């Protein structure tokens, strides 16, 4: 049985960032990624100014990767539109490109990467953590960084989300030339009965459409993608116009069920030492905020600080202190946005005072990185 200083489970932004930082600090790190090749994930793919800061710290240049610039936001419902500049310049880049770039950089910096490594269990024993992986020998390590994103590892399921009845869908589109020009440098958020959908440009001239919808509304649309998209576009003419003449990049959308929006991890009094939860395993923010990537990277940097200078309990307390106010504010807005009347009031307020949209974005930020010493 091979022994490692740290094993990171999950090769997304949180896992890769943690592995890179640990390797930079001289740790013998194993990074386990379930998939064998780069792949797309259900994600808005919005990279805020804070996420950009962390990625620069890791040596990534978003512009060189083809990331699309985003400087404006449109909020829409029905025929009505409110528009305003963002309080910062953002980028948009597919997870396929971003994750693969981070995985390769981790390898270049000395991280041992195992692709196609499906973890079936982690158990705390007297000599450390015992990890079982399909097709591999048992692994022993002093610390585990759990960064499996929206998917729970068996036996380590998250509990306590505020909104647990959403289904997420994602599709990439090739837009027609005129529609591509109209969307350029914008992120568009469309409210509809039962959920909301975001559309923004990504690399290679494509557009990412990502939406969440309640299970009840999805059932009313026939429980199928075509029925859902038809119903949304019928009630949202501006979005229908944006997708007119577009071609989907895949035969079917990506989807995910049971996202625990509003979840913030609280460490138990007798937590087993050496286990660090990162990204969506630490906290899950409503998708419309666009700060999922920031949380992933923030918790990765903070967890490494905790590992190097403190312990897992100190890290989890610091992360909860950083994230809980943000999650509570955005979850309240997300809960209100479930109701058509509340959506109409929100849009009316933003049309009268467009700066409200920018204000929400500016106040949906994580506090600066804390020390876990």
Would strands 247-248 and 29-33 be described as parallel, antiparallel, or unpaired? unpaired
* Residue 373: predicted pLDDT: 46
Residuewise pLDDT in 10s, the chain (373 residues) = 689 999 999 999 999 999 999 999 999 999 999 999 888 999 999 999 999 999 999 999 999 999 999 999 999 999 999 888 988 899 999 999 999 999 999 999 999 999 999 999 999 998 899 999 998 888 999 999 999 998 899 889 988 888 888 999 999 999 999 999 999 999 999 999 999 999 999 999 999 999 999 999 999 999 999 999 999 999 999 999 999 999 999 999 999 998 899 999 998 877 778 999 999 999 999 887 788 999 999 999 999 999 999 889 999 999 999 999 889 888 887 777 777 777 777 777 777 666 666 555 555 556 545 554 4
What single DSSP character describes residue 219? H
Round to whole Å and give the CA distance between 268 and 324. Answer: 16
Structure token pair of residue 120: 């079936």
Q: Give domain limits for the chain.
A: 2-70+90-161+261-338
Running DSSP on this structure, what letter comes out for residue 208?
E
Give dist(CA 262, CA 15) in Å, integer: 21
Query: Does residue 41 sit in helix, strand or coil?
Result: coil
Q: What is the pLDDT of residue 332?
A: 81
User: Do 199 and 44 meet the contact criterion of CB atoms below 8 Å apart?
Assistant: no
Cβ neighbours for 67, distance < 8 A, ≥ 6 positions apart = 47, 91, 92, 93, 202, 203
Instruction: Name the pTM for this structure.
Output: 0.92
Containing 46, the helix (H) or strand (E) segment is strand 46-47
- pLDDT for position 191: 93
Q: Which H or E element spans position 25?
A: none
Q: What is the dihedral of CA 33, 35, 41, 46, to 10 degrees?
A: 40
Q: CA distances (Å), 92 to each of 70, 83, 113, in order?
A: 7, 19, 26
- Residue 245: Cβ within 10 Å count: 13
What phi, psi does 197 have (nearest 5°)?
-135, 140
Output the six-digit token pair for 172.
């990439």
Which pLDDT does position 288 carry in this prediction? 79
How many angstroms separate the CA atoms of 259 and 280, rounded?
10
Fold topology of 2-70+90-161+261-338: FAD/NAD(P)-binding domain (3.50.50)
**What are φ and ψ of residue 102, in 5° steps?**
-70, -35
- Using CA atoms, how far apart are residues 80 and 99, in angstroms rounded to an integer? 36
Instruction: Please tell me the predicted confidence (pLDDT) of residue 203.
Output: 96
pLDDT value for 367: 53
- Token pair belonging to 309: 């200078």
Q: Residue 75's closest CA among 344, 364, 363? A: 344
pLDDT at 155: 87
Spatial CB neighbours of 243, under 8 Å, sequence gap ≥ 6: 173, 175, 179, 209, 233
């Amino acid at each position: 049985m091979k022994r490692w200083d740290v094993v990171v489970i999950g090769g997304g932004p949180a896992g890769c960032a943690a592995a890179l930082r640990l390797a930079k600090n001289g740790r013998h790190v194993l990074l386990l990624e379930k998939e064998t090749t780069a792949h797309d994930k259900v994600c808005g793919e919005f990279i805020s100014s804070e996420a950009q800061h962390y990625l620069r710290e890791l040596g990534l240049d978003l512009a060189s990767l083809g990331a699309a610039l985003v400087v404006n936001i449109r909020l829409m419902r029905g025929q009505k539109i409110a528009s305003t500049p963002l309080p910062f310049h953002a980028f948009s880049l597919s997870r396929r490109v971003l994750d693969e770039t981070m995985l390769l950089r981790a390898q270049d910096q000395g991280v041992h990467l195992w692709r196609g490594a499906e973890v079936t269990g982690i158990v705390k024993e007297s000599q450390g953590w015992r990890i079982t992986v399909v097709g591999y020998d048992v692994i022993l390590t002093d610390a585990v960084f759990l960064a499996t994103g929206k998917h729970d590892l068996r036996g380590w399921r998250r509990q306590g989300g505020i909104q647990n009845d959403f289904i997420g869908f994602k599709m990439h589109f090739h837009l027609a030339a005129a529609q591509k020009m109209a969307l350029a440098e914008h992120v568009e958020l469309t409210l509809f009965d039962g959920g909301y959908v975001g559309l923004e440009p990504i690399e290679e001239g494509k557009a990412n459409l990502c939406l969440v919808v309640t299970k009840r509304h999805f059932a009313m649309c026939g429980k199928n993608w075509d029925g859902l998209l038809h119903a949304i576009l019928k009630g949202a003419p501006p979005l229908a116009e944006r997708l007119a003449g577009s071609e989907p990049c895949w035969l079917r959308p990506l989807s995910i069920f049971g996202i625990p929006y509003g979840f913030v991890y609280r460490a138990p009094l007798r937590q087993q030492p050496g286990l660090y939860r990162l990204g969506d395993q630490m906290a899950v923010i409503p998708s419309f905020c666009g700060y999922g990537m920031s949380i992933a990277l923030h918790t990765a940097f903070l967890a490494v600080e905790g590992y190097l200078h403190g312990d897992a309990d100190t890290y989890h307390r610091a992360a909860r202190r950083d994230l809980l106010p943000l999650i509570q504010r955005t979850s309240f807005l997300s809960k209100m946005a479930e109701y058509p009347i509340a959506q109409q009031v929100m849009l009316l307020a933003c049309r009268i005072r467009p700066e409200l949209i920018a204000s929400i974005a500016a106040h949906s930020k994580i506090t600066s990185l804390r020390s876990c010493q």
